[in-house]
Amino acid sequence: MRKRWSTLIAALLASAAWAGAADAAALRVGIQDDPDALDPAVSGTYAGRFVFAAMCDKLVDIAPDLTIVPQLATDWTWAPDQKSITFNLRPGVKFHDGTPFDAEAVKFNIERMTTMKDSRRKAELSAVAGVTVLSPTQVRLDLKEPFAPLLSVLSDRAGMMVSTKAGDDFANAPVCAGPYKFVERKARDLIRLEKFADYWDAKSYGYDQVVYYYISDSTVRLARVRAGDLDIAERVAPTDLKTVRDDRNLKLHSAPGLAVSHLMVNVGAGEKANTPLGKDARLRRAFELAIDRNAINKVAFNGEYTADNQMIPPSDPFYSKDNPAPKRDVEAAKKLIREAGMTTVPVELTFENALTDSRVAQIVQSMAKEAGFDVKLQPLETATAIQRYLAGNFEMYIGNWSGRGDPDPTLYAFFACNGGQNVNKYCNKELEGVLNAARAEGDMPKRKALYAKATGMYLTDLPTIPIYHPNWFFAARSAVDGLAVYPDGLLRLKGVKPAG
């Protein structure tokens, strides 16, 4: 009997080993969210972008230092008046269905993104007035007004090129021009891609297949990498990093992120703006002084994130070093509250009822209390919270913004009077003027100076109080070689290959 059991176990183990061997050239990646529609024109999730990074090449890409580098466009020239940009396209590129990629395809894509009814890229591409095909490998984008962030916009979904044969059900079988092509999607389970043999740089890609498994829990994701059933887990929780560091079969890959978590104060949207905090910038300053960003980072995230006072992270070239985060000063906070003629300031803090935000909210509540803020916590289920956020139906809200490679989509969205994320209805015409000037400025040092000025202005008015920037942590098996994490947290597979 015992012998029979051992034979059975041996057979099972052998079958496991065989299964592993068969998948030797497949990279198995655990992702936290299930991507939405796999169409760059309509997708709205980070998980979607994560998959696109292997499937859909863009006109340009970003380097780890956030500079713009060639991808489907080999180089580009801005017109002297900054109102148009001409791209030279990589010759000989094919979409996964064999259709050639050329200037006509660029025109088709930009027009698709700007005219498709449910396109979410319209706002991003609103500066584009038209596309002119100059030759099969040269195309010009004409702009309504100078718009320096355009290249950054084209380094994301708005710059992803899909086959000119794209139809209505594109999302079910996407066809792009990236290194991996779509094979199958099992809803809420996995997305399988395989290497595109005709890719222009196919030799730089070391895996024959990439499979993205949707595993929402970060502990479970990590356990599966530790067990060897996955090769990479994205977004490992800061509290699990010690486990990764202690496991000699794993490697921790990290990079500073672009995202920001901030306490947005309703200063002008409806009734909820009529609060002491919403009306008086001194009280918002007092609130900022009452909280200790480093302590929040330490307690909630084991000190693995970046405590900071700006919407743009310190790793970004546009970060303003002239505006450092103030140290916690409870006495100064109390003094400001007295100056405002108050002793206790009531605040209602709304947030999505998720683990991290709840933790941060509780820490903020207890810190602010010491200075005289009576913070009432209002946790809400995600969809409800977002709806309240968009309607400006909150006094203070923990906002989580994913950030972008260029400062404009963040700063303009939050601080221009009609910005897309300006849900707290903050309006400072002078600041808006500076943001508009930065938008049109092509010269890097001058643009930097303008954003430094803008940073000083929003940090004076404090319509929102940034607290920290999450960083990216990926756990990978040591057998995965060449992995690099980018500030946008997307997994680029160029140079990634099995070790040895």
- Where along the sequence are the contacts to other proteins (CB under 8 A)? 11-13, 15-16, 19, 34-37, 39, 44-45, 117-120, 122-123, 169, 171-172, 185-190, 213-217, 219-220, 223-224, 226-229, 381-384, 386-387, 390, 401-402, 420-421, 423
**Residue closer to other proteins, measured from CB, 179 or 268:** 268
From the number of C-beta atoms within 10 Å of its C-beta (0-12, 13-18, 19+), residue 472 rates as buried
List the beta bridge partners of residue 306.
469
Q: How far apart are CA 387 and CA 51, in angstroms?
A: 27
Amino acid (1-letter code) at residue 365? Q
CB 157 within 8 A of CB 121: yes
In the complex, minimum distance from the CB of residue 222 to other proteins, in angstroms, rounded to a whole number: 9
* Minimum distance from residue 382 beta carbon to other proteins (Å): 6
Task: Identify which of residues 32 and 294 has a Cβ nearer to other proteins in the complex.
Answer: 32
Parallel, antiparallel or unpaired: strands 373-380 and 345-352: parallel
111 versus 247: smaller Cβ distance to other proteins:
247
CB 64 to other proteins: min, Å: 23
Q: Pick between residue 20 and residue 433 the one whose CB is nearest to other proteins.
A: 20
Contact assessment for residue 259 and residue 477, using Cβ atoms and an 8 Å cutoff: no
Find the shortest distance in angstroms from Cβ 204 to other proteins: 29
Question: What distance in Å separates the CA atoms of residue 278 and residue 105, rounded to the nearest whole number?
Answer: 49
The alpha carbons of the chain give a radius of gyration, in whole angstroms, of: 25
Output the smallest distance, CB 22 to other proteins, in A: 11
CB of 344 to other proteins, least distance (A): 30
Nearer to other proteins, 15 or 132 (CB): 15
- Closer residue to other proteins in complex, CB, 12/69: 12
For β-strands 464-469 and 306-307, DSSP reports them as: antiparallel
Q: Which residue has the tokens 């310190």?
A: 314
The 138-143 sheet, strands edge to edge: 73-78, 84-89, 138-143, 128-135
Nearer to other proteins, 179 or 409 (CB): 409
Q: Which two tokens stand for residue 23?
A: 């998948």
Q: Which two tokens stand for residue 64?
A: 């780890």
- Residue among 1 and 19 whose Cβ is closer to other proteins: 19
User: Smallest distance, Å, CB 147 to other proteins?
Assistant: 18
How far is it, in rounded angstroms, from Cα 472 to Cα 489? 6
Residue whose tokens read 């970046």: 306
Q: Which is nearer to other proteins, 289 or 311 (CB)?
A: 311
Shortest distance, CB of residue 9 to other proteins, whole angstroms?
A: 8
CB 113 within 8 A of CB 119: yes
Question: Of 315 and 400, which has the nearer Cβ to other proteins?
Answer: 400
Cβ 36 to other proteins, closest distance in Å?
5
Non-local (6+) Cβ contacts of 43 within 8 A are: 35, 36, 37, 49, 52, 120, 157
Residue with tokens 């949707």: 214
Nearest to 216 by CA among 345, 355, 71: 355
Distance CA 238, CA 205 (A): 30
Report, in Å, the least distance between residue 420 CB and other proteins: 5
